[in-house]
Amino acid sequence: MTELSPRETARAAGEIRYWPDAPCIHGHAAERYTAEGTCVECRRLKNMRPESKAARARWESGQTLAAQQRKRYSSQRAKAKAKGYAKAPHERHCPPRPEDNRCERCMNVPTHTLCQDHDHKTGAFRGYICIPCNTKIEHHVDDPLTLAYFVMAARRVHCEPSDHHAPRPSP
């Protein structure tokens, strides 16, 4: 008959912790939890990390992830307003999406949905573009493809931002 390990013995007895035969991989000579076999001292040190403290505080406050996201979005929106950025126009105020679902800048068919490209200062709609083009466009103004897109967007009939999208008057 084989002898049971300390963990198996503790688990059979219904105990939460046990004393192992050897220290953990970090060298702690401490009890271990029977469920995972992790060292009590390692878990204590892990729970002292800043990210663990934030998660614990969030759990204790009862704040849900959705509430955190709403709070983060409202603070981001407030920062954008302070910089003078206008909101993107609502899709119902813009021309319909292209039927072929092609990006109007690179003409590729994206794997994800198209983004509404808009001028951040005025809120004017410029076109539907893919996510890679949307993240590159402001950084590559010298790129001929980007310049051609801006010219094409300027010639197209833009939707006008509604009153609540209008930029604030400059002082």
Report which of residues 77 and 154 the model is more confident about.
77
Verify that 96 and 37 share a domain, yes or no: no
Looking at residue 118, what is its pLDDT?
79
Kindly report the backbone phi and psi dihedral angles of residue 128, in degrees, each rounded to the nearest multiple of 5, phi listed first: -100, 125
- Answer whether residue 125 is part of any domain: yes
Looking at residue 158, what is its pLDDT?
47
- Answer whether residue 15 is part of any domain: yes
- Answer whether residue 73 is part of any domain: no
Taking residues 129-142, what's their average pLDDT? 71
Count up the domains in the chain and report the number: 2
Residue with tokens 């790129």: 143
Taking residues 85-109, what's their average pLDDT? 78
- Answer whether residue 28 is part of any domain: yes
Verify that 47 and 96 share a domain, yes or no: no
Domain span at residue 95?
Answer: 91-165
Verify that 97 and 51 share a domain, yes or no: no
Nearby residues of 37 by Cβ (< 8 Å), 6 or more positions away? 7
Cα–Cα distances (Å) from 98 to 14, 75, 109, in that order, read 64, 33, 11
With a cut of 50, say whether residue 4 has pLDDT above it.
yes
Q: Please state, rounded to an integer, the average pLDDT across all residues of the chain.
A: 76
With a cut of 50, say whether residue 165 has pLDDT above it.
no
Instruction: Grade residue 138 by pLDDT with cuts at 50, 70 and 90.
Output: low
Q: Which two structure tokens, joined as six digits, stand for 21?
A: 């035969």
What pLDDT digit, counting tens, does each position of 20-35 carry? 989 999 899 999 999 8
Looking at residue 168, what is its pLDDT?
45
Taking residues 33-57, what's their average pLDDT? 83
Looking at residue 160, what is its pLDDT?
46
Instruction: Grade residue 140 by pLDDT with cuts at 50, 70 and 90.
Output: low
With a cut of 50, say whether residue 166 has pLDDT above it.
no
Q: Are strands 115-118 and 17-18 parallel, antiparallel or unpaired?
A: unpaired
Looking at residue 151, what is its pLDDT?
67
